[in-house]
Amino acid sequence: MKTILITGATAGFGEATAKLFAQHHWNLIITGRRKDRLEKLEKELTAAYPIAVLSLCFDVRNLEEVKQAIASLQGNWKNIDVLLNNAGLAAGRGPIQNGHYEDWEQMIDTNIKGLIYMMREVAPLMIARNRGHIINVASLAGWEAYGGGNVYCGTKHAVRAISRSSRVDLLPHHIKVSVISPGAADTEFSLVRFKGDKEKADAVYEGYQPLKAEDIANSIYFMATQPEHVNIEEIFILPTAQATATVTHKQTN
Ligand code: NDP
Ligand code: 8X3
């Protein structure tokens, strides 16, 4: 049986990916800060499928917590076949001259530093087995730099650059490094970005069919289940109605 470690499994892409891999009888290490959601998901998935689920509640921004979480893995839990570095967020959207330092720090600490902390701690476990697959979640914002997206776009460009460089570093160890870059997807993402303003968040997805979390889970499953000699370097996935970060075909009534 294979094992996937998913950061940010308490909502959105991470939760949908946990459910899909569980259906395919993968063991899961699910992580996030919201313990109640982790416990609920663990209960639901172990009741439904013949799999083992380990919940690790920690903040990816906290290096000591990341180190402790990975050091706590015992026995077969160390045999991580896939690390899905998914935890992340946009905090706010607006011009650089009006930006909030705490938002910038949260995005940089989560989307970049959290991701590299996880890679640094998990890669040695994969190297010891001479196999493994790291899938990093970037974004359309890792390809384009749209107005008001400044720091978020910067973090996602960084995810793509770090992934490409790490692919070279990990090549001799037979470890695949892949990226998935989604466009607009209806998760808790916009609610978090607009700090609980549901009207503003809902408006992002009005008038067209955005991606669903399950669409991203399907792509991740495809990446994770290719033959040993195949690495899908990147999946760049958009809603059919979206052409670029700023051009979406919306129906108006
Ligand atoms: P959600 O807000 O639905 O989920 C985000 C997940 O990240 C949650 O499980 C949350 O868990 C976790 N998370 C956030 N901060 C931390 C932290 N400091 N420590 C640990 N976990 C954390 O958003 P999505 O599922 O949409 O987002 C997942 C990834 O996809 C992000 O990296 C996002 O940037 C990216 N993305 C999203 C797109 C979209 O349109 N939705 C498009 C392209 C990329 P908890 O709060 O419990 O800690
Ligand atoms: C989320 C997609 O276009 O809001 O990463 O940046 S976008």
Catalytic choice (49, 117, 152, 205): 152
Q: Which tokens in the block code for residue 200? A: 């503003």
Mean pLDDT of all residues in the chain? Answer: 98
What number is the average pLDDT over the span 69-90? 98
What lines the ligand 1 site, CB under 6 Å? 7-14, 32-34, 59-61, 86-89, 110, 114, 137, 139, 182, 184-185, 187-189, 192
pLDDT, tens only, 20-32? 999 999 999 999 9
Ligand 1 atom showing the smallest separation from residue 7 Cα: 21
Distances 175 to 119, 178, 236 between C-alpha atoms, Å: 12, 10, 21
For residue 52, give every residue at least 6 positions away whose Cβ sits within 8 Å of its Cβ, in sequence order, or none.
27, 28, 46
Is pLDDT at 229 greater than 70 in this prediction? Answer: yes
| CB 90, CB 201: distance < 8 Å | no
Which whole number is the average pLDDT over 113-137?
99
Record the tokens describing residue 197, joined without a space: 């303003």
* 87 CA → ligand 2 middle, Å: 14
When pLDDT is cut at 50, 70 and 90, the band that residue 79 belongs to is very high
192 alpha carbon – ligand 2 mean position (Å): 12
Task: Look at residue 253 in the predicted model and tell me its pLDDT.
Answer: 67
Q: What is the mean pLDDT of residues 25-41?
A: 98
Please tell me the chain's helix, strand, coil percentages from 3-state DSSP, rounded to the nearest 5.
Answer: 50, 15, 35
- Name which residue sits closest to atom 4 of ligand 2, judged by CA: 184
Angle subtended by helix axes 115-129 and 63-71, to nearest 10: 20
Q: What is the mean pLDDT of residues 54-61?
A: 98
The average pLDDT across 235-239 equals 98
CA of 14 to the centre of ligand 2 (A): 16
Of 160, 180, 189, 191, the residue with max ligand 2 atoms within 8 A of its CB, to mutate for a pocket test, comes to: 189
pLDDT of residue 69: 98
Instruction: State pLDDT tens for residues 172-226.
Output: 999 999 999 999 999 999 999 999 999 999 999 999 999 999 999 999 999 999 9
Q: What percent of the chain has pLDDT over 90?
A: 99
Q: Report the pLDDT value the prediction gives residue 252, as an integer from 0 to 100.
A: 80
What residues flank ligand 2, with Cβ below 6 Å? 139-141, 149, 183-184, 245
Give the pLDDT score at 249. 98
9: tokens are 């499994």
Whose alpha carbon is nearest atom 6 of ligand 2?
141
Q: How far apart are CA 126 and CA 16, in angstroms?
A: 24
Helices 213-224, 12-23: crossing angle, 10 deg rounding: 50
Q: What percent of the chain has pLDDT over 70?
A: 100
**Is the distance from CB of 73 to CB of 124 less than 8 angstroms?**
no
Considering the entire predicted model, what is its pTM? 0.98
Could you give the domains of the chain?
Answer: 3-237 (3.40.50.720)
**Is 152 one of the annotated active-site residues of the chain?**
yes
